[in-house]
């Protein structure tokens, strides 16, 4: 407690344990007071994420050995600029999701009946923070488990037959991914005797079984991140969940397993995760961009379209990987910018879509004509989020794509630039198609019953994402405290 | 020599149970094989000198999971049977073949990886043993679970609470209710006289955990199993728990653990860095409360799912 910086490591633990505690309290309090406790916890989680980002920006990377047990015996939490930015992403999306859920749960609304949303949601938030911060591959498995089970329960909480079916296949995919990852962890530990992420390189070096282990860990994470062709569970799960849940899943949850995959690739750069592995992942990412965009264009429902768009946007995160080794700083910045702007924009789209489906009674495109006039805030949010999907300035994804195109041309891998630019054109098609149907002249004149809910939470989210370039200096400063260069 | 014969039989039995659990057409028979598999693997863990895992495997892997599976099979059988047939029909042959090939390839890769791993590679066991001696916890497993990697266990406890929440979310947050049948007087007598013994054994397992095999998970699972038996025999009806109190009981373990994790932070130490003089007491207290919560969780999972089908469907759109 002597100097102000001395408390910084403690913030990492608090960013995980405080929302977890709030979730448990919210559960214990039950229906009447669950929301109040959870909102307090959400406010604390936002403050803690901001504090971590501030201390990384001013004092550089932070680490905490839990219980003062030094790895490999103990578990270390570590925050560099990239983890801090992902914490901030979770905080911004989390705040919007919490506000939207609070607005939606007036007495009498069906959400009020689902009070378990609050403890489940705080558990999910705590677990993604845990995955962003952990420097231990087994602890990461526990976080993945916590994320998977809370997310599945949240999808199922809608209660409809479609939601239950989607939750079940989500559960199978999630458990299969986590088990594959865990078997990989077992092999790596057998060969190396350590679970510390930063000791992975020497472990994988020279051991064939550790290399198989690393492959299994990555395979599990690819399934969790829904990279093509392991995306099969995502469109149904993300499109049939309640809107706030879809927003959290597409905005933050897929990025959590992605971040761990990047950490693994970087930690094992020296051996095993060489150019071949990164090229394979990038090729899958390229197919994901094309396939996800095509399916988004072909879908007949707004939420399904947004979910397929996530499949495509996940592709961008992987397509940059071959450039990471050569240009770690630039591509690291691109990863942060893309993850942040897509996370916020996609959450805004799902929240807005929830509002639109509320007004129209369905999210089928053929029934949405004119709903944009009834729900201008939602339509505007969708439009602003579309700016990010297309990668137009001054959105964060514009900057990300700019950096990737530059790096890929400079290193002669022009195909990456082609995919990135082409993907933006495909996104334009599906975004304009959704907006066109919302803004079309209504085909029937009778007024729909007005509902008092408005997607107020979606608008700032979409606006921040579309103007993320303004936060460029702050993001660059945080990324300066990050090394993705490998060893 | 004799022990070697026993080991070979144990391995053969494990493989046989696993295969028959998979290929049996009858759901009930394959669950019985699954439970036998759990019991045999508990024996295998004892042979591998890991009694802590053996206890957990017997109580949770074979006991609680087996009970849940039997219960689910019962619910399926009570329906018109269409659900089970549906599941049977929906798996196309090509998927089965592909799945078998993928599993075979994975098995080959794993077998090769395991065989090529040197047995003398460095492990953390020695460090854990030394560390446990230093902090004065005689059972190194407890030292790892509650101290060195206490943070992992804290999150695992949250997973347990999540499981209950998931079941409750599926039932629209309805409180747990117990389906029971009129009990046979002889069974009632047996169960009634068994209950105090279960309680005593559970308390002993928590107490023993700091020095010898045992601990919150084993104790909680045992206690939970006792409650399940009592519930099935209809002996819980008079002492039905208030929903608020049962929620508190479910969350108490996690809350106590969180308090033990945060207290050091307030005192200027690292997260989960117990005060040296209070270490044993804190661990014992956390384990005691955890055992109660785990027992409630195990019992709650089972009793919450064993409502009559009509009640289960009520309130579902």
From the CA of B191, how many Å to the nearest CA of chain A?
Answer: 31
Question: Residue A79 in 3-state DSSP?
Answer: strand
List, in sequence order, every residue forming a beta bridge with A364; answer none if it has no partner: A301
Structure tokens at B191: 């169960």
Q: What is the pLDDT of residue B87?
A: 57
A307-344 residues labelled b (16+ CB within 10 A) or e (exposed): bbbbbbbbbbbbbbbbbbbebbbbbbbbbbbbbbbbbb
From the CA of B188, how many Å to the nearest CA of chain A?
Answer: 33
Structure tokens at A221: 């994470």
pLDDT one-digit tens code per residue, B270-302: 999 999 888 889 999 999 999 999 998 888 887
Q: Are residues B270 and A120, on separate chains, in Cβ contact within 8 Å? A: no
Contact A244, A97 (CB under 8 A): yes
Q: Are residues A17 and B271, on separate chains, in Cβ contact within 8 Å? A: yes
From the CA of A114, how many Å to the nearest CA of chain B?
Answer: 7
From the CA of A156, how many Å to the nearest CA of chain B?
Answer: 7
- pLDDT higher than threshold 80 for residue B161: yes
Q: What is the pLDDT of residue B240?
A: 57
Q: Which residue of chain A is at minimal alpha-carbon distance from B154? A: A17
* Helices B150-170 + A117-133 axis angle, to 10: 150
B227-264 residues labelled b (16+ CB within 10 A) or e (exposed): bbbbbbbbbbeeeeeeeeebbbbbbbbbbbbbebbbbb
Of A157, A191, A213, the CB nearest to B169: A157
> Predicted confidence band at B208 (pLDDT cuts at 50, 70, 90)?
confident
Q: Are residues B255 and A21, on separate chains, in Cβ contact within 8 Å? A: yes
Q: What angle do CA B216, B218, B220 make, to 5 degrees?
A: 60
Name the DSSP letter for residue B118.
-
Question: In sequence order, what DSSP letters do the residues of B37-100 get, joined into one string?
Answer: HHHHHHHHHHHTT-HHHHHHIIIIIIIIHHHHHHHHHHHHHHTTSHHHHHHHHHS-HHHHHHHH
pLDDT one-digit tens code per residue, A321-350: 999 888 889 999 999 999 999 999 999 999
Question: In sequence order, what DSSP letters do the residues of A163-227 get, joined into one string?
Answer: HHHHHHHHHHHHHHHHHHHHHHHHHHHHHHS--BGGGHHHHHTT-HHHHHHHHHHHHHHHHHHT-
B206-226 residues labelled b (16+ CB within 10 A) or e (exposed): bbbbbeebbbbbbbbbbbbbb
- Reported ipTM: the value is 0.93
Helix (H) or strand (E) holding A89: helix A81-104
| Per-range mean pLDDT, top range of A18-27, A162-171, A390-399 | A18-27
- pLDDT higher than threshold 50 for residue A191: yes
pLDDT one-digit tens code per residue, A19-47: 999 999 999 998 889 999 999 999 999 99
Q: Are residues A187 and B150, on separate chains, in Cβ contact within 8 Å? A: no
Of A21, A24, A73, the CB nearest to B124: A73
Q: What is the pLDDT of residue A451?
A: 59
Residue of higher predicted confidence among A206 and B305:
A206
pLDDT one-digit tens code per residue, B2-27: 788 999 999 999 999 999 998 888 88
Q: What is the pLDDT of residue B99?
A: 86
- pLDDT higher than threshold 90 for residue A304: yes
> Predicted confidence band at B317 (pLDDT cuts at 50, 70, 90)?
very low
Q: What is the pLDDT of residue B311?
A: 34
pLDDT one-digit tens code per residue, B89-142: 566 788 888 988 988 998 998 999 888 887 777 778 888 888 888 888 888 888
Q: What is the pLDDT of residue B212?
A: 79
> Predicted confidence band at B309 (pLDDT cuts at 50, 70, 90)?
very low
Structure tokens at A223: 């399934």
Q: Are residues A75 and B151, on separate chains, in Cβ contact within 8 Å? A: yes
- Which of these, A315, A259, A270, A257, lies nearest to A485 by C-alpha position? A270
- pLDDT higher than threshold 90 for residue A56: yes
> Predicted confidence band at B150 (pLDDT cuts at 50, 70, 90)?
very high
Contact A130, B159 (CB under 8 A): no
Contacts of B278 in chain A (CB under 8 A): none
Q: What is the pLDDT of residue B76?
A: 77
Sign of the alpha-carbon torsion through B4, B5, B11, B14: negative
**In sequence order, what are the residues at sequence separation of 6 or more whose Cβ sits closer than 8 angstroms to the Cβ of residue B264?**
B270, B271, B272, B273, B274, B275
Distance (Å, rounded) from C-alpha B317 to C-alpha B308? Answer: 18
- Which of these, A117, A139, A154, lies nearest to A37 by C-alpha position? A117
Q: What is the pLDDT of residue A1?
A: 40
Q: Which residue of chain A is at minimal alpha-carbon distance from B315? A: A159
Of B149, B243, B250, the CB nearest to A75: B149
Distance (Å, rounded) from C-alpha A166 to C-alpha A154? Answer: 11
């Amino acid at each position: 407690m002597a100097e102000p910086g001395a408390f910084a490591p403690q913030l990492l633990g608090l960013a995980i344990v405080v929302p977890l505690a709030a979730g448990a309290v919210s559960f214990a309090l039950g229906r009447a007071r669950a929301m109040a406790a959870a909102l307090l916890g959400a406010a604390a989680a936002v403050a803690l994420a901001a504090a971590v980002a501030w201390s990384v920006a001013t004092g550089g990377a932070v680490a905490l050995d839990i219980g003062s047990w030094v790895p490999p015996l103990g578990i270390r939490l570590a925050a560099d600029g990239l983890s801090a930015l992902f914490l901030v992403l979770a905080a911004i999306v989390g705040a919007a999701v919490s506000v939207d859920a609070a607005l939606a749960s007036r007495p009498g609304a069906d959400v009020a009946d689902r009070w378990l949303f609050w403890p489940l949601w705080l558990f999910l938030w705590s677990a993604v923070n845990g995955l962003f911060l952990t420097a231990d591959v087994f602890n990461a498995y526990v976080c993945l488990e916590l994320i998977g089970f809370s997310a599945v329960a949240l999808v199922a909480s809608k209660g409809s037959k479609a939601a239950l079916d989607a939750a079940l296949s989500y559960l199978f995919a999630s458990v299969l991914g986590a088990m594959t990852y865990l078997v990989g962890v077992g092999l790596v530990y057998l060969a190396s005797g350590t679970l510390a992420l930063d000791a992975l390189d020497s472990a994988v070096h020279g051991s064939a079984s550790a290399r198989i282990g690393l492959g299994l860990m990555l395979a599990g994470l690819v399934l969790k991140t829904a990279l093509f062709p392991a995306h099969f569970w995502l469109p149904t799960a993300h499109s049939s969940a309640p809107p706030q849940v879809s927003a959290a899943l597409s905005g933050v949850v897929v990025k959590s397993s992605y971040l761990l995959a990047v950490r693994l690739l970087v930690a094992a750069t020296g051996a095993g995760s060489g150019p071949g592995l990164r090229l394979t992942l990038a090729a899958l990412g390229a197919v994901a961009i094309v396939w996800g965009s095509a399916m988004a264009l072909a879908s007949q429902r707004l939420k399904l379209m947004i979910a397929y768009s996530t499949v495509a946007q996940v592709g961008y995160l992987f397509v940059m990987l071959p450039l990471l080794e050569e240009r770690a700083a630039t591509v690291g910045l691109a990863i942060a910018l893309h993850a942040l702007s897509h996370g916020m924009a996609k959450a805004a789209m799902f929240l807005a879509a929830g509002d639109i489906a509320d007004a129209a009674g369905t999210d089928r495109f053929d029934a949405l004509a004119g709903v944009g006039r009834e729900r201008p805030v939602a339509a505007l949010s969708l439009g602003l989020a579309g700016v990010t999907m297309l990668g137009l300035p001054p959105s964060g994804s514009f900057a990300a794509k700019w950096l990737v195109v530059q790096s890929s041309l400079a290193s002669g891998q022009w195909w990456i630039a082609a995919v990135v630019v082409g993907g933006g054109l495909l996104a334009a098609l599906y975004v304009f198609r959704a907006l066109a149907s919302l803004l079309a002249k209504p085909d029937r004149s009778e007024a729909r019953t007005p509902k008092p809910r408005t997607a107020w939470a979606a608008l700032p989210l979409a606006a921040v994402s579309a103007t993320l370039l303004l936060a460029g200096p702050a993001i660059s400063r945080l990324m300066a405290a990050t090394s993705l260069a490998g060893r | 020599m004799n022990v070697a014969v026993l080991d070979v039989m144990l391995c053969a039995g494990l493989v046989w149970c696993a295969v028959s659990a998979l290929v049996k057409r009858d759901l009930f028979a394959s669950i019985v094989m699954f439970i036998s598999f759990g019991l045999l693997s508990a024996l295998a863990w004892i042979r591998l000198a890991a009694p802590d895992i053996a206890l957990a495997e017997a109580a949770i892997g074979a006991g609680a999971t087996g009970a849940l599976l039997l219960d689910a099979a019962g619910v399926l059988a009570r329906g018109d049977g269409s659900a089970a047939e549906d599941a049977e029909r929906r798996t196309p042959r090509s998927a089965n073949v592909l799945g078998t090939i993928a599993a075979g390839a994975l098995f080959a890769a794993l077998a090769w990886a395991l065989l090529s791993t040197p047995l003398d590679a460095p492990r953390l066991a020695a460090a854990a043993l030394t560390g446990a001696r230093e902090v004065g916890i005689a059972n190194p497993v407890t030292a790892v679970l509650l101290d060195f990697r206490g943070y992992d266990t804290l999150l695992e406890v949250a997973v347990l609470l999540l499981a209950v929440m998931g079941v409750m979310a599926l039932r629209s947050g309805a409180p747990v209710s117990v389906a029971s049948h009129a009990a046979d007087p002889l069974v009632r007598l047996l169960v009634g006289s068994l209950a105090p013994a279960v309680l005593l054994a559970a308390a002993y397992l928590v107490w023993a955990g700091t020095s010898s095999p045992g601990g919150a998970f084993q104790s909680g699972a045992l206690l939970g199993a006792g409650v399940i038996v009592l519930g099935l025999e209809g002996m819980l009806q008079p002492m039905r728990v208030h929903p608020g109190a049962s929620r508190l009981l479910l969350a108490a373990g996690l809350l106590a653990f969180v308090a033990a994790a945060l207290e050091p932070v307030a005192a200027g130490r690292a997260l989960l860095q117990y005060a040296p003089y209070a270490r044993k007491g804190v661990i014992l207290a956390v384990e005691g409360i955890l055992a109660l919560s785990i027992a409630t969780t195990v019992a709650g999972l089972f009793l919450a799912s064993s409502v009559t089908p009509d009640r289960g469907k009520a309130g579902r759109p």
